[in-house]
Structure 1
Amino acid sequence: MEKIVIVFDGFCVLCNNYVSWVANRNPNKNIFFTNFDSNYIKNNFPQLKLGDTIFIIREDNKILKRSQAIKFCFKFIRLNYFLKTLIKISPNFLLDIFYRIIAANRYKLFGKNQKCSVPEGIIKENILV
């Protein structure tokens, strides 16, 4: 089973909720989590900077972002068939438009944590620091 890393904005409430949601639907525990400020990112992927997107790093070190990252992640989690199919058949350019609007306004719409925190549902072994 391929292992993937989700890189997220630890201050973003929406991002933290998404990561918790994914962690709770990851039966194989093959999804790992880290934030942009982690030593893992600084040492291995210094080109990744905090922005308005979530990143996925695949086992082959290919980096995916926005809708590509979401679609790839959905391959590994337990998910409602309808939702999985809807996301799968939706064109990336449409999903990216929606994604960019939400991402640009994420703090206004969902709030911002005062400190970077570990979202609920993530087991310690799946956190990369």
Structure 2
Amino acid sequence: MVILVYDGECNFCSNFIKFLLKINKNKSLRITSFNSKWYNDFKMENQIRDNVDSIILINSNKMYIYSDAILHVIAQANKLFFPILILKIVPKPIRNFFYKLVAKYRKRISKQIKCTLPTQSERKYFL
């Protein structure tokens, strides 16, 4: 199972989740927010600090954060997007600098959206 943990109170992050669900062909992808019971239990079991400021991708025994999480979840959601992993040739500090820059201003970048509920077919991907 591939699990993506995101900030459910962030419009920018919610828009990314909508995009991900549109392209997703991976039946094992699951999505949850930092406020979910599943993530709180996982955090306790794995001694994860509370101040993670990134989406988290959990895939088998690996955890990805920052730009790695974005690249890997897009590539795993749909094989057509697998070539996005070529961006890993850009050094991680540079990729993460831009990730953190966007993350810092994400609430200003994204317009406020109305809270939309996932469709019936999308609900199966949420924990």
Q: Could you say whether these structures have the same fold, taking a TM-score greater than 0.5 normalized by the shorter chain as the test?
A: yes
Place the TM-score, normalised by the shorter chain, in its bin.
0.7 to 0.9
Deviates more, 1:73-82 or 1:8-17: 73-82
Distance 1:120 1:52 in 2: 28
- Superposition RMSD on alpha carbons, in Å? 2.7
Number of the residue aligned with 2:30: 32
What is the CA-CA distance between 1:28 and the residue it aligns to? 2.5
Taking only the aligned residue pairs, the percentage that are identical comes to 24
Q: Within the alignment, does 1:68 sit opposite 2:71 as a pair?
A: no
Distance 2:12 2:37 in 1: 23
SS at match of 2:109: helix
Residue type at the aligned position of 2:25:
P
User: After the TM superposition, which parts of structure 1 deviate over 4 Å for at least 4 consecutive aligned residues?
Assistant: 79-82, 111-115, 117-122
Number of the residue aligned with 1:5: 3
Aligned length: 123
Residue type at the aligned position of 1:57:
I
What is the CA-CA distance between 1:91 and the residue it aligns to? 2.1
Which structure shows the bigger proportion of residues in helix conformation? 2
TM-score, normalization: structure 2?
0.78
Structure 1, unpaired ranges of 5+ = none
- Residues 4 and 58 in structure 2, CA contact (< 8 A), matched pair in contact too: yes
